[in-house]
Amino acid sequence: IPNIKIFSSSSHQDLSQETADCLGLELGKVVTKKFMYVENVYIIWSGCGEINNNLMAPLIMINTCKIVSASQLTAVIPCFPYAQQDKKDKSWVTISAKLVANMLSVAGADHIITMDLHASQIQGFFDIPVNYLYADLGVLKWIRENISERKNCAIVSSDAGGAKGVNSIEDRLNVDFDLVAILVDDMVDTCGTICHAADKLLLAGVTRVYAILTHSIFCGPAISHINNTCSKAVVVSNTIPQDDKMKHCSKIQVIDISMILAEAIRKTHNEESVSYLFSHVPL
């Protein structure tokens, strides 16, 4: 692909590398003069790890690229930082996700690509175009390959609306067949709610429970919650690095979403519609 350069902000080097590999490109070296003539720059940056340290570096990178040369600068942010701070639920609370959106524009981003936003209203925080990707494509592939009992499968959500989902399954459960539940959530931190929901489902008679999560921050007691739940596996996407946690917990499995990012970058660069991707991703 000509006239394109992909850079990684240090927060999640592996995902950036895998995305570049899917595109057959090399990641740009950050200190270089070579991108003087580049037209389109994509900076991959995931809001993970030391979130505040990892916020300023990509902003500086975006601003530098913009000043030096890039004619079109896209920030690819699979896990949007502060996505959980999306509304003013107390008078003194700032909407941090909106602040991040403003900072991206001020730094010089022309376009944002992000994935499974915790709250869709965040899309409205931007004055620049946003493409909203879904991890579903990777999730479906994982389910097809890894859950052989998927014909007897119920999809359950564990958050606000989701508690209802769990209860309605419980109500209908008088199962005399192998019912498998797949709990889904877009963003988890301590994993308390999702593990609790999983155990309730098992108590209610579900044979096996899988939890599938897009953005897994896994802080505090998350690993011990996962260790203690009786669910079969906790499957997470790699929008956040998971290698360390996988070493401490054999139940964690990873869905690779780099090819979704790569396809979105390729389509954006070729000025094709990204929404087409949702139904036609090459899996």
In the complex, least distance from residue 227 CB atom to ligand NAG, rounded to whole angstroms: 4
| CA–CA dist 3, 40 (Å, integer) | 6
**CB 237 → ligand NAG: shortest distance, Å?**
10
Nearer to ligand NAG, 95 or 249 (CB): 249
Smallest distance from ligand NAG to CB 172, Å: 29
Binding site for ligand NAG (CB under 6 A): 141-142, 145-146, 223-224, 227, 248-250, 253, 255
Distances (CA, A) of 93 to 53, 83, 119, 248: 21, 14, 17, 35
* Nearer CB in complex with ligand NAG: 193/224: 224
Closer CB to ligand NAG, 76 or 252, in the complex: 252
In degrees rounded to 5, what are phi and psi of residue 172? -85, -5
Contact 164, 197 (CB under 8 A): no
The one-letter code for the residue type at 135 is: A
Q: What is the largest CA-CA distance in the chain?
A: 66
- Provide, rounded to whole angstroms, the least separation between the CB of residue 229 and ligand NAG: 11
Q: 150-159 burial, b if ≥16 CB within 10 A, otherwise e?
A: eeebbebbbb
User: 30 or 249: whose CB is closer to ligand NAG?
Assistant: 249
